[in-house]
Structure 1
């Protein structure tokens, strides 16, 4: 549920829920016998299901698509943060890429 709330704030909640398989009730079985059942959405006022099952590649695609729509987001593929020096006003990152390392002020 919490992840869906975050996805809503990022503007990708609807496509995630539409594509995923929603569920609220979990069931535990031993062989063919159900031994336990639990409802993860007991309050009627919730706007989203308790869980959705969604393949990772769909989740990543929706998030990348949304990032490309927003200003001030710079997607850098194959970059790895290898060091962080924190300051009161931000941080200085060391970033490793196939083309070499660089520093990024954040």
Structure 2
């Protein structure tokens, strides 16, 4: 994961991302490892490059809207750009240890 913080709001953005869940999985998108890149800029722009657990994820639109809204709710964020990438494809190894424990993958 790449995290670049030029606006000093990275931690706030991450906390908001941890409130967004894939409706089919009881773990947030950050701990699932769906966030590939997070860039913040002094102008109040935040760019999130993320993936989904599957290219044909039925909840894709909802997850993207939730990520957009969560990041936009951070003070000093004026614009949110969310991009989807499937390179590399997501797999279970991208999850945090906490997420693996929560889902019983140990």
Q: Which has the higher strand share?
A: 1
TM-score by length of 2: 0.27
Q: Which has the higher contact order (CA 8 A, sep 6+)?
A: 2
